[in-house]
Structure 1
């Protein structure tokens, strides 16, 4: 017999994938057939359908009700526009019902009429309703009859609100203009300075740099105008700079301008910028500031200007001292000197210049700061320091000097102590004796003993005047 070829006799090579997933608790699972409850099945059997005639009646009734609602809405809008009280109660009864009630009550109207006026007054008083103040305020808050309330539909309109705010702004501007007109009538303001007068520049250039000056008045951060960046490369940059009105620049613009001009110009040209822009702004900030402090960005500009020491000393420090600055201005400017390194020759030349000026506490502040930097000064500058402190001693030959009779401030004694601590080994024995005599006559009760101890602990140099090549180069620096 041959083999029976049937599908039932063939074995499967593997189980179906669905069985494997079910055995491993996979995400794919068989969904069982939903069992229909007997109650639901019974409910479906009991349902009855509405025929066409009944559905037409239902639609007609719904249409009539909708028309009645629209008529009632129109009547309510008309009554609200005529100023009728918002709290009126609408009567939703049919007209036929109202007529029947009137006919039924027509014969009994006399029963409700009062017999005398006293009864009528009492009847009216019973209908008065008292409203609490809090409820009245709440009503005014949500239903106020203002310009932005639309009485037609009892809601607020956004357009009305916008128009009301515009009207308020216009009234405020008109009031401010009237006040400004009254103030100008009392005192006429000074005419603005004409920046185009006396400047030989083309009109287009003047117009462009006037716009640059306007930008620099409010500039805080970001990119600088390109016309401003090319200013140091112009031959007549001073005239163009005058057109931009540097007096009105913001402090941030002062710093950026100082950095631009000091880094791109020579010392002599940078000196012109410092004396024309930076020095007046420094004095103005301290004088007109409420706390008499210097703006941080102007202070940074001063530090940046010290990268050209000759421009700083000749364009800022020397004019500041010669014009008679106060101690506060000197202290702020000296703090810049103390924080920035200055070449030794520039420092020696500036110290020699300050020592020759008439005595003032502000000048002594700068002398003290330069001595505390502890640079290796030439012997000629050391000798000038010795003569500066020696001239304050009392003269015993009958003649009195102007500096000898003055009461010396504490900053002078501190400067003397700084000189004794750093340069006690660079003076001669005769100079040491003169300085000890000065300490004995004009010494401070607390600082004087320290100066004397430092002078006695030093060693004397061999030559009276030992001026080397550094001293010869010192006068060529500034």
Structure 2
């Protein structure tokens, strides 16, 4: 708890964003009318409103079977967010959320899918974990299905969750388990690791970093360097760091010891003097000491040539 953000930003849902937009548009319209120019924006056709209120009823009771066609066409609409708001996503069943995620991850462009993940799926997942201390199977499958668009998943779910500063260890373990079960392109995982390495520290970041490190990607040196700097930044940190931090440090040493330069290894060995764990630190030291450095390998190759 002591590593969490003391003043977390307020969580915003899709409803909040759409209401803001509607208010903003209405203000623009009123201003235009008061100046005697422009015409008010057309409001939604009452018949459309009626159809989507019916869809709302279906989704609030949905268990299995076909979804209404009117719902399936939402991703193709220019005002899809406004229409989606009418269906009240917060009232959908978990099974409906899974089906909706399937449709939206397949049919929305990446940026729009990211908004759906961030404003609809993520708040629902967090609320479910907070209330039941575990995640509903359908919501878990929705998170897995959302990885169909990995960039949108990282930008809409993982990064905002970590940036909030309020991600609990339970949330990190549940959501992180999806990272271990799914295949994710190295490009997207590398970008996520860079972002996580630059964030203010909390335990959840360590969990996600360790899980991504344990996927054993062939990472660009730039990402390896960022991970090293992430840990070296703790040289001046006076806090007693949790076991999670030491575990992610060990994962880095195990997976990428031969991608580190001699200088980086020395600096990391020095770091072990500042932050030590009786069981884990000797393992980290052993890994770092019994491996070649990347610059030594480069020198050997140069000598052979």
TM-score, length-scaled by structure 1? 0.53
Could you list the per-position Cα deviations for residues 195-244 of structure 1 after superposition, in whole angstroms to 9, with x for gaps in the alignment? x9849311100110000011000000111111111111112111110111
Q: 2:92 aligns with which of 235, 249, 256?
A: 249
Matches within 5 A, 1:199-278: 200-278=43-121
Aligned to 2:35: none
The unaligned stretches of length 5 or more in structure 1 are 1-192, 394-400, 464-478
Q: In structure 2, how many angstroms separate the alpha carbons of the residues matched to 1:443 and 1:266? A: 46
Q: Which residue of 2 aligns with 1:381?
A: 223
Distance 1:443 1:246 in 2: 47
Question: Match of 2:170?
Answer: 328
Q: TM-score, normalised by structure 2?
A: 0.82
**Structure 2 stretches of 5 or more lacking a match?**
1-14, 23-41, 297-305
Alpha-carbon deviation of 1:267? 1.0
Aligned residue runs from structure 1 range 269-348, under 5 A: 269-289=112-132, 292-324=133-165, 325-348=167-190
The structural deviation recorded for 1:443 is 2.0
Equivalent of residue 282 in structure 2, options 449, 453, 457: 449
Paired with 1:367 and 1:423, the residues of 2 have a C-alpha distance of 13
Cα-to-partner distance string for 1:82-124 (whole Å, 9 max, x where unaligned): xxxxxxxxxxxxxxxxxxxxxxxxxxxxxxxxxxxxxxxxxxx
**CA distance in 2: counterparts of 1:384 and 1:319, whole angstroms:** 20
Q: Which has the higher helix share?
A: 2
Larger Rg: 1
> Any conservation in 1 of the 2:172–2:204 contact (CA below 8 Å)?
yes
**Aligned partner of 1:422 among 242, 255, 260:** 255
Q: Is the 8 A contact 2:72 2:103 kept in 1?
A: yes
Shift of 1:456: 1.0
Offset at residue 271 of structure 1 (A): 0.6
Instruction: Tell me whether 1:366 sits opposite 2:199 in the alignment.
Output: no
Relative contact order higher in (CA < 8 Å, ≥ 6 apart): 2
Looking at structure 2, the residues matched to 200 and 409 of structure 1 have their Cα atoms a distance apart, in angstroms, of 54
Per-residue deviation, residues 132-152 of structure 1 (Å, max 9, x unmatched)? xxxxxxxxxxxxxxxxxxxxx
The alignment of Structure 1 onto Structure 2 pairs a total of residues equal to 260
Query: Partner residue of 1:437?
Result: 270
Q: CA RMSD in A?
A: 1.9
3-state SS of paired residue (1:223): coil
Do the aligned partners of 2:125 and 2:139 also contact (CA within 8 Å) in 1? Answer: yes
Q: Deviations over 1:386-438 (max 9, x none)?
A: 11111223xxxxxxx3xx21111111111011111110001111111111111
Q: For 1:229 and 1:423, locate their aligned partners in 2 and report how far apart those are by CA, in whole Å.
A: 45
Change (3 A) 1:200 1:368: farther
Does structure 1 residue 405 correspond to structure 2 residue 238?
A: yes
8 Å Cα contact 2:262-2:295 kept in structure 1:
no
How far apart, in 2, do the equivalents of 1:447 and 1:364 lie? Answer: 15
What's the offset of the Cα at 1:461?
1.3
